[in-house]
Amino acid sequence: MAISMSPKENYLACLNHKPHEYTPGPGDNVPAGMLLPIERGEGGAGVDAFGVRWVAPTSGGAGAALPAPGEFMLEDVTQWKSVVEIPDISVFDWAGLAAIEEPMINRDTQVVEIWHSNCIYERMATLMGFEGALLALALEPEASFELLSALTDWRIEMIKYYSKYYRPDCYLFFDDVATERMLFMSPETYRTLIKPNHTRIVAACKELGIIPIQHTCGRADLLVQDMIDEGCDGWHAVQAQNDLEAIIQEHGDHFVLMGGYNSTGAPGQPSATEAMVRAEVRRCIDTYAKYGKGYIFSGFVLTELDPANPLDMGPMNAIITDEFLKIRAEQTA
């Protein structure tokens, strides 16, 4: 078939809910804004700008960092104003850090996506622990909303800095509010306390001409309409336990799912064979891309089961990308 769109044009067409020529996916986009030490400290583990200490145990999924257990700074959310010091973002060397990343980006062929971790609920959880944050939402909704709103104001200021120094196409904000089985909280709690603030974040992006995308792992299909109401153009890291086909068929004209790879099932385990991994990539494309709308393939593996023997998952992720590129070649032949 005759191809007229570059990978970047094709990817953006899908995100902008316009016709595209082949399935967008790995390599068409590049994460940016990852070097700022605001969220997890220098090098991804250390003390962040809020004073939270991060650690990176090998059992955390390929060394993923998390707040140091038992060291949460905020016990009573009603006291947040006297405990939590929201960082001054103007002190960071935005220009210098952006300059380090710029040579890694090909703006002619790649979509530039800011990957900004620890959005408002996740940040609340770093301050209080997940259990403490959930209890606060349930027992002290007014104080919780005040904290979430203050964190939202701070986020919006950061988006302005990202816009100025990184000139991104997209802003991907990470707020995990679900487990593999269900939401952490009731949909009503999300809609009352979190959704209004996510809506402000999304509006700030759109005012700057940036495409907003929400990252939420787990079974969060109950929030699809809420993400659409917020103004999000996509949902990132959508996992296979959600009914992706139904969502694409109903909302694919105005909402994009980014994901699909069964990372928590057999294809995401260290025991997975190369054949299993390649078959899972093809299952995703065959199942979700066939509608020609509302789907961008994303697949990666972070599983590591033996804390005494950290597993390098790089080879498996390379297989995922390789199989995707084979499918890309078939689609564009």
pLDDT value at 34 more than 90: no
Burial of 8 (0-12, 13-18, 19+ CB in 10 A): buried
**Averaged pLDDT for residues 245-260:** 98
Tokens of 220: 């969060």
DSSP letter (8 states) at residue 54? E
Residue type, 251: H
For the chain, percent of residues with pLDDT exceeding 70: 93
> In this structure, how many other beta carbons lie within 10 angstroms of the beta carbon of residue 219?
17
pLDDT value at 140 more than 70: yes
pLDDT, the chain, mean: 92
Q: Collapsing DSSP states into helix, strand and coil, what is residue 178?
A: strand
**Averaged pLDDT for residues 196-209:** 98
Cα Rg of the chain (Å, integer): 20
**Averaged pLDDT for residues 36-62:** 78
DSSP letter (8 states) at residue 119? -
Helix ranges restricted to H, the chain: 7-15, 80-83, 94-101, 120-128, 130-139, 141-166, 187-189, 195-207, 224-230, 244-251, 274-288, 314-332
pLDDT value at 300 more than 70: yes
> In this structure, how many other beta carbons lie within 10 angstroms of the beta carbon of residue 31?
16
199, containing H or E segment: helix 195-207
Q: Which residues pair with 15 in a beta bridge?
A: none
Question: What is the largest distance, in Å, between two alpha-carbon atoms of the chain?
Answer: 62
Domain ranges of the chain: 7-332
Instruction: Report d(CA 89, CA 151) in Å as an integer.
Output: 12
94, containing H or E segment: helix 94-101
For the chain, percent of residues with pLDDT exceeding 90: 83
pLDDT in tens, 99-108: 999 999 999 9
pLDDT in tens, 148-170: 999 999 999 999 999 999 999 99
Confidence (pLDDT) at 59: 59
Classify domain 7-332 at the CATH class level.
alpha beta
pTM of the model: 0.95
